[in-house]
Homo-oligomer: A and B are copies of this chain.
């Protein structure tokens, strides 16, 4: 069966990125940027590998997408990310003027919704897509890390 290009399809690709982060011992969050049903950028959390708090999945994906497009604005793009963006990433998405943000799991404490980070007026944000898969991976990561210490 051919998979349709819908939110679930692209979130599955973001989850693959999150799994790649997991394999590297990184908090497993992944993201893809899509334009016209085509993935133009991928990213996963690399804060430990790069020793850099700015190296979130979304930041990598925003930079890679702008690089692909040859321009810094992502007006016709959608970002799929497995965890609700933090203030930093939502702030970057605000500057990018992205059209659509779809996230998986909520982040009540550090996510942009409860912290009321301002997004561009043209940006539509929604969440909950494959949230259980995203949460399960995050929980597994933190359980395994606890057991290692």
Interface residues of A (CB under 8 A from B): 47-48, 51-54, 59, 62-63, 66-67, 70-73, 86-92, 94-96, 115-118
**A118 CB contacts on chain B under 8 angstroms:** 87, 115
Known: A72-B47, A115-B118, A117-B117. A53 touches B95 (CB 8 A): yes
Count identical subunits in the complex: 2
Give 16 new A-B contacts, CB below 8 A, not counting A86-B91, A86-B95.
A48-B72, A51-B70, A51-B72, A52-B66, A53-B62, A53-B72, A53-B73, A53-B92, A54-B62, A87-B118, A88-B94, A89-B91, A91-B117, A115-B118, A116-B116, A117-B117
The residue in A70, A71, A92 that gathers the most chain B C-beta atoms within 10 A of its C-beta is: A92
The 3 A-B residue pairs with the shortest CB-CB distance in the complex, in nearest-first order = A88-B91, A87-B91, A53-B95
